[in-house]
Structures are given as C-alpha cells and as structure tokens.
Amino acid sequence: MEISDKKLIKSKIFFQPLDNIWEAWTTHEGLKKFFGKDNFIELIPGGAFEIYFLMDNPVGLRGSEGCRILSFLPKKILSFSWNVPPQFEDVRNSVYHTWVVIEFIFVSEHATRIMLTHLGWPTDEKWNVVYDYFDKAWDTVFTQLSALNDTSQNQVPKRATGVGGIFFKSKDPVALKSWYQKHLGFNTDQYGTNFEWRHSDDPARKGHLQWSPFKDTTTYFAPSEKDYMFNYIVEDMENLVTLLRNEGVVVLDEIEKYDYGNFVHILDPEGNKIELWEPVTEVYDELVDGRTK
C-alpha cells in the first residue's frame, strides 16, 4: 500500500486552560463530554483509544475499535491511530489505520490552541471519500469541544470595554486648549482634560476619557500617518495581547507598565495606530488635575 503526502490540518484556539483541554482529550469522562457516546482509553503507549459513536451497532462496528495511542507528551502532544467509520465498509475492512497527531499549545491562562494533523492517507482513490468525510468531521469535533464548558466564556479576557482617550495633532496645542477652556468649559491641564464617567454595571466605579491635543510634529502616532489616535480601555492585557498576536494583529511594541496602568499599541487593517490601556483607576484618579465633568 502506497501512502500519500496528504494531510488534514485543523487549528483553533479554545478559550479554556491547557489543563482542561488535555483532560478533555485524554480521560474517559473528558472525551464523553464532546467526542462520541462512550469510549475506552488507556493513556499509555499502545493503550486503547476507542471512541464509540453507534452504540446500537454490533461490537466492532461502533466506532474506533482497535485504535491505539501511539505516543504522548503530557500537555503537549497526543498521537493515536484512527480507523474508518463503519459506513465505509469496503475501506474499513482493509484494516489499515491512518493516524492523528494533536499538539496542545499554551496561549494564555485561559486559552489553548489545538493543532490537529490527520495523516497516513493511502493513494488508493477509494480513500478520497474518507478524507473528505474527516475534513468535515474534525470541524464538528472542534465545534463540540468549543461548547464543552459554557462557563469557559466567562474566562475569555474582555476586549475593549470603553474609550480611554482621544488624541489628535494641533498646530498650537496650548492655544487650542485655551479656546476649549474658554468656549466649552474644558478644565484643562498640560495634557488636555479628562472626562470622568461611571460604569453602567457598577456606578461606584469610575472611568476616564483623556482628551489631548499633540503638537503636529509629534511622532507618537507613528507609524500611522493619520492626525489622530484613539485609546481604548481593556482588561487582562497580557492575555489579550497574546490572543491578538495569535489572531494575526500587528502589535507594535511590548507592554509598558506604569503605576497608573499598562499600555501597548497595535495597528488596525487601515493603518490606524491604536493605544490600549489597562488602567489602575484609583492611582490615575489621584493623578488627574484637569478634569471636565
């Protein structure tokens, strides 16, 4: 039998800790929650990795009977042999097994990437229908794993929770601040002013939006060529930045940490520079002089 170079590769980030994802794939109870109706698994090289889907079928035709764990590296790699569903009787009767390699990749405390590679496909054309079947089947498995723990969504770091600043270029920031102070009542300081607001779900909790004109020669907005930049308030910045990088977002710098909060800068698809701010509200509130309520 000649084996082709064909591979099925599936990759997805699951918003669950690595320990939870590993347990889901390597324990009897974990697998029952998202993969098949029952199973028999022995987490040792050569141990059983049998997932049963069709419980009314005769023994031997219920699922992945005869499949074995080929190797594993705890919380990093799981590899197992994989057979053909009973509906493809002719191919299943060949007794040949393909194999699957799953990589468990730490993304953050609350997120794990799964990289699944299904390989060992014979060149015989009768295997093409099986390949197409698993191309869709593994997507279904990933969908079921995503829904494994409804409470996991509570662990996903929030993205932007508010606007923290409006920054723009000005020919004469000092004169401009004076104009806004005189005509619109802005209470300005050397940086601009801060608008104080409250969280709708917790009115005792303060937030701030900083309004700041910059000299038109500033390079602070670079590499964006725009005359403005927005600041957005976020939570759990370290985990969020990890997720953004995994999603292909351009992160311009490393997180900078100050007493009053953490900052990092990203680019949107149109080249706008965005400042993300995870504030320490109590400290920032004490620092603010200019304040417009």
Identify the domain boundary among 132, 155, 178: 155
Tens of pLDDT along 125-141? 999 999 999 999 999 99
- Greater confidence, 283 or 174? 174
> Could you tell me the CATH number of the domain that includes residue 63?
3.30.530.20
Q: What is the pLDDT of residue 156?
A: 60
Q: What is the reported pTM?
A: 0.61
Asked, for residue 196, whether it belongs to a domain, the answer is yes
Whether residues 26 and 144 share a domain: the answer is: yes
Whether residues 34 and 113 share a domain: the answer is: yes
Tens of pLDDT along 279-292? 988 888 888 866 77
Number of domains in the chain: 2
Full residue range of the structural domain in which residue 235 is found: 160-287
Identify the domain boundary among 110, 128, 155: 155
Whether residues 81 and 169 share a domain: the answer is: no
SS3 per-residue string spanning the chain:
CCECCCEEEEEEEECCCHHHHHHHHHCHHHHHCCCCCEEEECCCCCCEEEEECCCCCCCCCCECCCCEEEEEECCCEEEEEECCCCCCHHHHCCCCCEEEEEEEEEEECCEEEEEEEEECCECCHHHHHHHHHHHHHHHHHHHHHHCCCHHHHHHCCCCEEEEEEEEEEECCHHHHHHHHHHHHCCCCCCCCEEEEEEECCEEEEEEEEEEEEEECCCCCCCCCCCCEEEEEEECCHHHHHHHHHHCCCEECCCCEEECCEEEEEEECCCCCEEEEEEECHHHHHHHCCCCEC
* Percent of the chain scoring above 70 in pLDDT: 96
